[in-house]
Structures are given as structure tokens and as C-alpha cells.
Amino acid sequence: MVRLLQPLLWLLARSTHGQLARMVLYLKEENALLRAKLPKRLTVTAAERRRLVKFGKPLGAAIKELITIVSPRTFLRWVNGERTTPSRRQPARPPGRPRIPEAIRELVVRMADETGWGYTRILGELKKLGIQVARSTVVNILKEYGFDPGPKRGEGTWSDFLQRHTATLWACDFLAKRVVTVRGIVNVFVLFFIHVGTRRVHIAGMTAKPTQAWVDERACETATILTGPGGQPAYLLRDHDTKFEGGFDTLLAERGVTVVRVGPRAPNLNAYAERFVQSIETECLDHFVVCGESHLRHIITHYVDWYHTCRPHQGVGNRPLTEEEPPAPLLQFRARDIECEERLGGLLRHYRRRAA
């Protein structure tokens, strides 16, 4: 470094005042060309700022003619900040209005997501909690996260109805299967109920002749299951199948079950029951030639037990319905420690850890 500075100092010592002025003009022009090739705004570190102040401060007002990396006003603030004591120096803050704390933003989004409230109701809840924010702030947060600032009005959607009643909501339907008997091929109808919240299935009965008396009798037997041991009110979804005509709705209503008929030709409104029909048919019944009602009962009994205890369900976190908590992670294992259990001649399979 000394070898580099000595020629420069020697050159400056021999230079006249006019030559120094011309050197400064050249360096300013060169600096302007280089500065034009850089981004409009440059950020400097605290160490770089101290170096600029150190060499620029002695120049006084002449710095206005030289400095280009920042405005002279910004440089003056740097100099004034250097003069103040560290205890009195104010922390730097980005330009513009301060950002709303993240905790408030999360709370506003949570309220909107859980309740569907509009900005006025959310603003009142925040005020009740002692959180003071402007009305426009709540509106802007809701819009940023895709929520309508206005409240939900009307009766809501079908999805809202399902979410509100999931703990006490059931669905029912008939499953039909062609069965080979001594009298030929007949259709056997299986009446089942499925709990929407837990996906658990109850087989109410099966018959080749689902008369209204038979259906009403199954309704009376199943009512206690639908309402639970405490007899709490329950809701039951059903389609417009004529086998439900008669006293089916009335008998259940007398026992605390509100029957909700879905729209005609709208299987998506009874999606949980329809999905169970699809599962049992594609995973089990379509693979058998069923010989008699007792054979059908045997197949369905084994499938429903496997459906409850072994089959993972995507709707409940890809876990079996009877599993309360996931097992501890298995970090190391041997292939022979995992065994396959088969049912119905190997059609239904699942894997489990071998008992120690």
C-alpha cells in the first residue's frame, strides 16, 4: 500500500492548484460514468457509512459538489448521527407507514376464517380485547388474504351446513347387489347409515323385498344409534328413493332425528354415503359372485370390520377409524418385522408390525 501511495503523493506535491482542479473534474466525470451503470439506489453498511463520513466530513460544504452515492441531505444526517451519543440515537426505521404487527394480522385472519364476520364485527372484537386498529386496516388485511370485508348473509352454503352439524350428522342410502339364489338372480338391498364426522358405518339390514314396513322397522331400530346414548338431536341426509316413503321421516322425527332430503338427482349432496357405496363395490363386492343372502352378509360384515379397523381413510388424516393416536415413528426396522394380514381370501389386505 505504501508503494502505491508514494507516487500519488509525489504527483500531488508537484501539481499546481489548477492541475488539482482538473484532476478533481476528471475524477468527478469518471465517477458519474461509473455511477450511471449502477442501480439507482445503493445501500451501504454501517462500516462503509463511517468511512464516507470520515473522509467527507472535513470537506464541509464542498461535499455537495462531490457526493453522488447519496444525497447531500442524507450525508448531513449521517454526520449529525455521528455527533449524537449512542444512547440518544434513534433506531433506523424503513420509510412509509409502520407495518401492522404480525400477531394482529394473524388474529384478524383467524376471526374471519372461523366465523365469517365482516370488518365491523371483527373491529369490535379487537376493541373488546384492547387492540386498537383503524377500520381501514382491518379491511385491507381481509382483502389481502382473499376475504370479503362484508359479513356472511343468508343461510350459507351446503358445505357450511355440513361443517356445523358434522358431530351429529348422519347419511343413509341403499346398496344394491345382484345375488345368485336357487330361484335365480335377485337384487338384495342393503340399508346402511354412515356418520359424517367419523366415517363409521352401521349396517341396518338387508333384504330382497324392502317394503315400507321393513324400512320403518329399521328406522326405529337405528334411531337410538343416530341420537347416541344422551339422546342429543341428530340430522340425517337421505335421497328421494321411494323406499323411504311412508313413515320413515316421521318415525325418526319423533325420536329426535331431523331428516334432510337432498335435491333430486344430486348425488354430490349425499357424497359420504355415495363414497361408501363406491368403496365397498370397487374394493370388495365387484370381485365376488355372491351366492345367497348369508354369503352377502358374511362378505359385508368382514369388509365393514376391515373398513373400520384396518383401512386408512383420507378424510381423517389417512388413518384407520379406530386409531385414536398415530403410532410412534418407526425409525429402524427389518422387513420381516412387518407382516401382511389377509381377509376374504386375500382380497382385503393390510400391513402391521409383528408382535414382539
CA–CA distances in Å: residue 117 to residues 7, 36, 157? 76, 52, 15
Q: Does the pLDDT at position 25 exceed 80?
A: no
Q: Does the pLDDT at position 151 exceed 70?
A: no
| Spatial contact of 42 and 69, defined as CB atoms under 8 Å apart | yes
Tell me, what's the pLDDT at 84? 40
> Residue 169 forms beta bridges with which residues?
235
Q: Does the pLDDT at position 286 exceed 90?
A: yes
Q: Does the pLDDT at position 85 exceed 50?
A: no
The helix (H) or strand (E) run that includes residue 339 is: strand 338-343
Tell me, what's the pLDDT at 83? 44
Please report, for the chain, the start and end positions of each structural domain, with discontinuous segments joined by +: 18-83, 102-144, 162-316
Question: Which ranges of the chain would DSSP assign to H, the alpha helix?
Answer: 2-14, 17-36, 46-56, 72-83, 102-115, 119-128, 135-144, 158-164, 212-227, 248-254, 271-283, 293-309
Check whether domain 162-316 has CATH 3.30.420.10, yes or no = yes
**Dist. CA 247–CA 122, nearest whole Å:** 46
Mean pLDDT value of segment 152-170: 66
Cβ neighbour number for residue 23 with a 10 Å cutoff? 13
The answer for 199, left when phi > 0, alpha when psi is -120 to 50, beta otherwise, is: left
- Nearest-CA neighbor of 69 among 101, 94, 45? 45
Q: Does the pLDDT at position 193 exceed 70?
A: yes
Whole-model pTM? 0.57
Strands 234-238 and 257-261: what pairing?
parallel
Q: What is the mean pLDDT of the chain?
A: 82
Tell me, what's the pLDDT at 14? 55
Place of cell 407507514: 97
Q: Does the pLDDT at position 215 exceed 70?
A: yes
CA–CA distances in Å: residue 182 to residues 28, 209, 287? 107, 16, 21
**pLDDT tier, 8 (very low <50, low <70, confident <90, very high otherwise):** low
Question: Which residue type sits at 280?
Answer: I
**Dist. CA 186–CA 199, nearest whole Å:** 29
> Residue 349 forms beta bridges with which residues?
342
**Dist. CA 334–CA 215, nearest whole Å:** 52
How many Å separate Cα 147 from the centre of its chain? 15
**Dist. CA 253–CA 256, nearest whole Å:** 5
Contacts of 277 (CB under 8 A, 6+ apart): 173, 175
Strands 169-181 and 234-238: what pairing?
parallel
